Amino acid sequence: MKKIILCSSNPILIKNLYGMLRDEGHSVETTEHPAFAIQKVMSSAYDLILIDSEPFGLSAEDATQIIKTIIPDMPIVFIGSDQNQMTLESPVNLEEIKRTVHSIAVY
């Protein structure tokens, strides 16, 4: 079981991913804003962050830089972005997300 932050302001994306990840046995916490994901990382340990590349407020890229400063080895998966990070194309393929989550080792 992995402890995951799912960061997106897209309610359909959250509904689909949250249910699928919980069914896979993972603990999932959701947040709409990347700034809140940073707060969660600072207050608790997580195994993975799934972050929508289209949030409002603090950009996903800026949030990633901050998180990597705090926890350099934190796996972060972008959804719908072409960043130099691990990226999943949009629209989201749930099977691809399952494979990606399972491939990330727990600390």
What are the pLDDT digits (tens) for 6-62? 999 889 889 989 999 999 999 999 999 888 999 999 999 999 999 887 756 777 788
The residue that leads in pLDDT, 71 or 99, is 71
Give the residue from 103, 96, 101, 105 showing the smallest Cα distance to 5: 101
Confidence at residue 41, expressed as pLDDT on a 0 to 100 scale: 93
How confident is the model at residue 91, as a pLDDT? 62
Q: Give the CA count within 13 Å in the CB-facing half-sphere of 104.
A: 22
Instruction: Report pLDDT for 77.
Output: 82
So what's the pLDDT on residue 81?
59
Q: Phi then psi for 27, rounded to 5 degrees?
A: -90, 120
The domains located in the chain, with CATH, are 3-91 (3.40.50.2300)
Alpha helices in the chain (DSSP H): 11-23, 34-43, 60-70, 94-103
Hey, what are 23's tokens?
């069914």
pLDDT reported for residue 107: 47
Q: What residues contact 47, with CB distance under 8 A and at least 6 apart?
A: 2, 3, 4, 75, 104, 106, 107
pTM for this predicted structure:
0.76
pLDDT tens digit sequence for 76-89? 887 775 555 555 55
Question: Ramachandran region of residue 8, left (φ > 0), alpha (ψ -120 to 50) or beta?
Answer: beta
The two tokens of residue 101 are: 């989550």
